[in-house]
Each structure stands twice: as structure tokens, then as C-alpha cells.
């Protein structure tokens, strides 16, 4: 006898083949419950895809940013560091730095004005460029997070809808057969409970991952803001020395 499978169980003089495996429950389910299960299966697959992608990306971003900070604070030339980064920085912190250095170089090519008003204007442009770059990079890190939040919030209710529908089918089977034998009740109840379980299987990892990655992205955003403020102060000093 296979697990979760009752080949010949007699109830009320009739024999019924009841398969309580995952595949068996899906095949035996009503079309509406099947659609609910398919939606939840797809939601689970996509949630885990996002979770793995975010986990790998956040590890990579933190590692690359730490490497960049080591180079930045090593005391070398900022122009040399900018040249080594090239046009495609590998992490958000490098992107913020590259955006600011790009504006600095464009202004330097035209010649940095000696007036205080011009220096303040350049400082404001650099800060604005860093702010725009920081916002853009943060939005990239937050991409698809809304799906995890939505999955965590809606999956239990989608599963509950399948549960209610399965229970309604069970009541119809009872009314149609005029019997409350387990053979009549069990299939519908099993489908209904399975839909609930699938909803929780989707929602729990999605909510846990959303909370973790939200906290991770928030900490990294604060790290970026701190770097932007420090770099802005460095450029401000250089502007004063160039005056």
C-alpha cells in the first residue's frame, strides 16, 4: 500500500479509492479548487525565486560595498578610484560615488569658479546627483518586494476561498447522497484543508522574507546616506581649498 493512499476502503457497502497524496488531492479537486491550488503553487514558486535572488543580491551588495569602502578610505586618489570603477559600478555605493565624481569632473573641466555662489551651486548639484543616485539604487534593491508583501497578505485568504469552496462541495455531496459516511465527506474536506495549508505555505515564508529584507535594505540605505554625507563633506573641503 502506498503512503497516503487507501486502495479499497468500504463505506456503506461501497468501495472507494481515496488518494490523499498532494497530486491525488489536486486531481480529485473541483475545478475552482484546482485553480486556487495552481495560483498558490505559482505564488510559492515566484516568492522563493524572489527570496533567493534578494538573499544573493544583498550578500553581494554588502560585500562589494565593503570592498569599495576599503579602497575609498585607503587614502588614494579619488580620480584614480573613479577611473578604475569605469562606467558600470558594481554596487550602489560605487554608483553614488561615480555619480558625484562625474558631476565634479564635468565642473572641473569648465573650471571651478572662485566665487562663493558658484561653489555653493556646484555643491548643491553634487548633493542632488548623489540623492538621485541613492534613491534609484534603493528602488532597485526594493524591486519585487511588493510581491512578497502581497503574497504574505493575500495567500491565506486565497487558500481560505479554496477551503470554503471545498466545504461547500462536501455539503453538496452529503445532500446528494443522503449520507454522512467518511467516504462522502473525506475527499472534500481533504481538498479544503489542503488549500488552507497551501495558503499558509506561501504566506509564512513571504512575510518572514519581506520583514528580513526590508530591515536589510533599510540598514543599507542608512549606510548609503552616511557615505553620501561624508563624501559631500570631503568635496566641500576640496572646493574651499580650490577657492
Backbone angles phi and psi of 112, in degrees to 5: -75, 120
Q: Name the grid cell of 223.
A: 549606510
Q: Tell me the pTM.
A: 0.78
126 band by pLDDT with thresholds 50, 70 and 90: confident
Q: pLDDT tens digit string along 2-42?
A: 444 444 444 444 444 556 566 666 667 678 888 888 999 99
Residue 5 lies in a domain: no
Number of domains within the chain = 1
Query: What contacts 156, CB < 8 A, 6 or more positions away?
Result: 196, 199, 200, 203
Residue 20 lies in a domain: no
pLDDT at 184: 59
Residue 25 lies in a domain: no
pLDDT at 52: 96
Residue 15 lies in a domain: no
- Segment 53-69 mean pLDDT: 94
Q: pLDDT tens digit string along 205-214?
A: 999 999 999 9
- Segment 205-233 mean pLDDT: 94
Q: Name the grid cell of 2.
A: 502506498
pLDDT at 63: 94
* Furthest C-alpha separation in the chain: 101
Residue 100 lies in a domain: yes
Residue 6 lies in a domain: no
Percent of the chain with pLDDT over 90: 42
Helix (H), strand (E) at residue 191: helix 182-242
Q: Which domain holds residue 126?
A: 30-242
Amino acid at each position: 500500500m502506498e503512503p497516503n493512499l487507501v486502495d479499497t476502503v468500504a463505506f456503506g457497502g461501497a468501495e472507494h479509492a481515496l488518494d490523499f497524496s498532494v497530486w491525488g488531492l489536486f486531481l480529485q479537486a473541483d475545478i475552482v479548487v484546482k485553480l486556487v491550488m495552481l495560483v498558490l503553487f505559482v505564488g510559492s514558486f515566484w516568492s522563493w525565486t524572489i527570496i533567493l535572488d534578494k538573499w544573493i543580491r544583498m550578500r553581494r551588495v554588502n560585500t562589494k560595498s565593503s570592498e569599495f569602502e576599503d579602497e575609498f578610505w585607503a587614502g588614494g586618489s579619488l580620480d584614480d578610484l573613479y577611473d578604475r570603477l569605469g562606467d558600470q559600478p558594481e554596487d550602489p555605493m560605487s554608483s553614488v560615488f561615480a555619480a558625484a565624481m562625474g558631476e565634479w569632473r564635468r565642473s572641473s573641466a569648465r573650471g571651478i569658479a572662485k566665487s562663493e555662489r558658484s561653489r555653493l551651486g556646484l555643491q548643491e548639484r553634487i548633493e542632488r546627483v548623489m540623492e538621485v543616485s541613492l534613491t534609484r539604487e534603493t528602488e532597485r534593491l526594493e524591486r519585487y518586494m511588493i510581491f512578497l508583501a502581497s503574497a504574505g497578505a493575500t495567500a491565506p485568504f486565497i487558500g481560505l476561498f479554496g477551503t470554503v469552496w471545498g466545504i461547500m462541495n462536501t455539503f453538496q455531496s452529503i445532500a446528494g447522497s443522503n449520507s454522512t459516511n467518511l467516504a462522502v465527506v473525506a475527499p472534500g474536506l481533504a481538498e479544503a484543508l489542503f488549500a488552507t495549508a497551501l495558503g499558509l505555505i506561501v504566506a509564512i515564508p513571504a512575510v518572514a522574507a519581506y520583514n528580513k529584507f526590508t530591515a536589510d535594505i533599510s540598514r543599507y540605505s542608512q549606510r548609503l546616506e552616511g557615505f553620501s554625507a561624508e563624501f559631500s563633506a570631503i568635496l566641500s573641503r576640496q572646493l574651499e581649498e580650490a577657492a
